[in-house]
Amino acid sequence: MLSQILIQGFLLSGLYGLLAVGFTMIFSVGRVLNLAFGANIMIGGYVYFALAQEAALPKLPSFIGAVLAGVAFGVVTYLILVRRFRDDPIAVEISTLILAVVMQALIVMIFSPAPRSMWPLLPGVAHIYGVAVSLNIVLATVVSWVVLGGLLVFVHKTHLGRAIRAVSMDPKGATISGIDPRQISLVTWGLSGALGAMAGVFLATYTQLDPGMWVFPLITAVAVVIVGGIGSIIGSLIAAHIIGFMETITTTVIAAELRGVFTMLLIIIVLLVVPKGLFGREEI
């Protein structure tokens, strides 16, 4: 029981980390919540499904195709909606929420509202300390961590990454040092779209594809980000583990249906007690 909780909690947390970091990057740079991030998740899952299962392409190109679709969607959202409502975060949130609902309608139109099941990325089952875990989930976790590690190196070691951090700390100061915040925002929206699409592929192989699949992951991403402190990558990773383990414990010990409830209660409590989140906002 204990090893099951530890292993499954760890595996789930990796995915939540990917989800939350993709979501929080946009907030750090632009101070807006992108509610169309849910649509990114959905696009990732469905594009992979269309390429790998309906067009029967190999898995890796399909995965890359899904990620590119995510990048394109992120960039287009930024160019069309966010540039227009830049001064008004609430308008960005409302318009991205509408966009997510529109994308859901588009998915229903193309793929029908019925749920679709996805083949695992890697079939088979592994036994880790006596706990049976599907290789698919192990692969998803490993890829998530590689991507997250790469991202941390990117934002700390490369020029572009440092520019992203500079804009997230102080857009005016960054502009004075010769960085164009709009260009940086564009890059960030593309990156965030890629992470969202990746998380979408993994989520769809964990459960199934259905047009409403974006709501719960979006709320989870919001929860992780709020608990960790909006805009902090490290905070988000820690909070992803808090929430991942909490959900695993709820699922195994109490009831699977209640896992969302505790997450929501945690957001409410954190916002009331420490509105800045557990890890403030210092670094991106």
Partner 1 sequence: MGVLVSLRWWLVFGVGMCLLPLVVSTGTLRILVFAQFLAIFAMSWDILSGRTGYISFGHPFLIGIAGYTTAMLTYHLGVPLYFSIPAAVVATMIGSIFFFIPALRTRGTYFAVVTLAFMEVLYHLMQVVQPKLTGGTRGLSGLPTIILGAVPNYYLSFGVMFVIGVGLWLLIRTRLGTALSTIRMDEDAARSSGLNTTKLKLFAFMLSAFVAGIGGALYTHYLGSIAPRGIFDISFLFSILIAALIGGAGTIVGPIMGAYFLTLLLEFLRPYLPGPERYLIYGAITLLAYYYAPKGFHNIFGLLWQRLGALGRRE
In the complex, the residues that contact partner 1 under the rule CB under 8 A are: 32-33, 81, 84-85, 88-91, 93-95, 97-99, 101-102, 105-106, 108-109, 112-113, 212, 215, 219, 222-223, 226, 255, 257-258, 260-261, 264-265, 267-268, 271-272, 275
- Strands, DSSP E only, in the chain? 125-128, 131-134
Q: How many CB atoms are located within 10 Å of the residue 78 CB?
A: 25
Residue placing its CB nearer to partner 1 in the complex, 163 or 270? 270
Residue placing its CB nearer to partner 1 in the complex, 80 or 153? 80
Least Cβ distance, residue 93 to partner 1 (angstroms)? 7
- 218's CB contacts (< 8 A; 6+ apart) are 23, 35, 37, 38, 41, 100
Please give the Cα distance from 88 to 83 (Å, whole number): 10
Least Cβ distance, residue 176 to partner 1 (angstroms)? 27
Please give the Cα distance from 236 to 278 (Å, whole number): 9
CA-based torsion, 141, 249, 229, 99: positive or negative: positive
Residue placing its CB nearer to partner 1 in the complex, 60 or 269? 269
Residue placing its CB nearer to partner 1 in the complex, 112 or 158? 112
Q: Do 266 and 227 meet the contact criterion of CB atoms below 8 Å apart? A: yes
Backbone angles phi, psi at 207, to 5 degrees: -120, -100
Least Cβ distance, residue 15 to partner 1 (angstroms)? 19
CA-based torsion, 140, 248, 267, 95: positive or negative: positive
Least Cβ distance, residue 46 to partner 1 (angstroms)? 15
Residue placing its CB nearer to partner 1 in the complex, 174 or 267? 267
Which of 282, 280, 244, 283 is closest to 262 using CA atoms?
Answer: 244
Residue placing its CB nearer to partner 1 in the complex, 1 or 272? 272
Q: Do 189 and 71 meet the contact criterion of CB atoms below 8 Å apart? A: no
Least Cβ distance, residue 260 to partner 1 (angstroms)? 5
Least Cβ distance, residue 268 to partner 1 (angstroms)? 6
Token pair belonging to 5: 């909780």
